[in-house]
Structure 1
Amino acid sequence: MSSTEHSFEKIKLILSDVDGVLTDGGISFDNNGIESKKFHIKDGLGIKMWQRAGFRFGILTARTSHIVKVRSAELGIEIVRQGFEAKLPTAETLAKSMDLQMNQICYIGDDLTDLPVLRAVGLGVAVADAVDEVLAAADLITTRAGGQGAVRELIETILKSGGRWDDLVQQYYAA
């Protein structure tokens, strides 16, 4: 992950875009018009580890998709906001409802609709293949592209910086 030194200790919530972050940005339709997306399994386990560490993870996406609802339920993600192209007001309302300051939120995105919220949070993160404007505005840039484990990379970075990663990994040795 490229950036200058950053303090992660204030981060209590990670919000993520979906298309181009949790997926590679591709959307497929079958002959019946049914949409499909491909999610990276390592992102899913990373999200579960983030939750086990006592933190919250949420989705904030401009599109609306049943698949996002299904994947979120599978991962136990309770914060799912779909169909909001103006993401900043949604993020601000969410922060207020959770009694969080915007500087306690990390947002990871890839495209222009992510810019306002990316700039307003405590930690704005761009995936490696984000558009130039998002890369320029980000506090951190992942080494992995969207849909290729970028969210897992972010989560590992934050958890390792706080000394939580090794304890979480040990739980898998004990299983």
Structure 2
Amino acid sequence: MSAVMLSPEDRARRVKVLLFDVDGVLTNGEITIIPNIAPNTELKGVEVKSFSAHDGLGISLARLAGLKIGFVTKRNSQVVAIRARDLKIDHVYQGQAHKMEAIAKILVTEGCTLDDLAYVGDDIIDLPVMRRVGFAIATANARPQVKAAAHYTTPMSGGFGAGRDAIDFILNARGILDEMIEQYLDAENPESQRADIGVGNM
């Protein structure tokens, strides 16, 4: 079968590694900075981002299904590092102005090909990756150029369940979404017990 004839479902069934941009994909794209108001301090602040709990649970389902998960983002953020830790993300690349450099490293680490990768993006910085991976996914709030490059567009926008939409689509294409849900709900499953245990301010 020619690659150009593959359906989104066909592409989803090949995915081994699912990668996300962060701002505008796992968040709504807003970047809130609370300045340090103490006198004579450096020009620094606290960055705030909001993540969807639906996406977090979806990542747990994807892990149960054997997918590797990664974040590839241009910004450097302690908030992203904390969220990645809580979700036990396999690959975390921040400060990536040219994201294909991170993709090349992930391919070597995982021993896979571009056809095995899915990537979820929302803005033009994501285009070099989306044009090359096996399954390119745009969020509902993505720029028109990004949607044009995508094999699938999520019903929900970034920060409001777009990540979960992408995961549900992949697992549905494999016919295992319901099975993964039941595994997650199994009180005896140690993986589901470890999933997304954040510490917040505790």
TM-score range, shorter chain: over 0.9
- Superposed structure 1 runs of 4+ greater than 2 Å apart: 171-175
Task: Determine the structure 1 residue equivalent to 2:181.
Answer: 169
Contact 2:14 2:116 in 1 (8 A): yes
Q: Structure 1: which amino acid aligns with 2:9?
A: H
Q: Does 1:141 align with 2:153?
A: yes
Match of 2:137 among 105, 125, 130: 125
For 1:172 and 1:121, locate their aligned partners in 2 and report how far apart those are by CA, in whole Å.
Answer: 29
Task: Determine the structure 2 residue equivalent to 1:23.
Answer: 27
Q: Does 1:151 align with 2:154?
A: no
The more displaced of 158-167 and 146-155 is: 158-167
Pairing 1:73-112 to 2, within 5 Å after superposition: 73-112=85-124
Task: Determine the structure 2 residue equivalent to 1:6.
Answer: 9
Q: Structure 2: which amino acid aligns with 1:129?
A: N
Task: Determine the structure 2 residue equivalent to 1:39.
Answer: 51
Which structure: larger Rg?
Answer: 2
Q: What TM-score, normalized by structure 2, do the two folds share?
A: 0.82
Structure 2: unaligned runs, 5 residues or longer: 1-6, 37-44, 188-202
Q: Structure 2: which amino acid aligns with 1:126?
A: A
SS at match of 1:143: coil
Q: Structure 1: which amino acid aligns with 2:172?
A: K
Contact 2:140 2:154 in 1 (8 A): yes
Structure 1: unaligned runs, 5 residues or longer: none
For 1:51 and 1:5, locate their aligned partners in 2 and report how far apart those are by CA, in whole Å.
Answer: 21
C-alpha distance after superposition, 1:106-132 (max 9, x if no partner): 000000100000111000010011011
Tell me the number of residue pairs that the alignment of Structure 1 and Structure 2 aligns: 172
Contact 2:9 2:170 in 1 (8 A): no
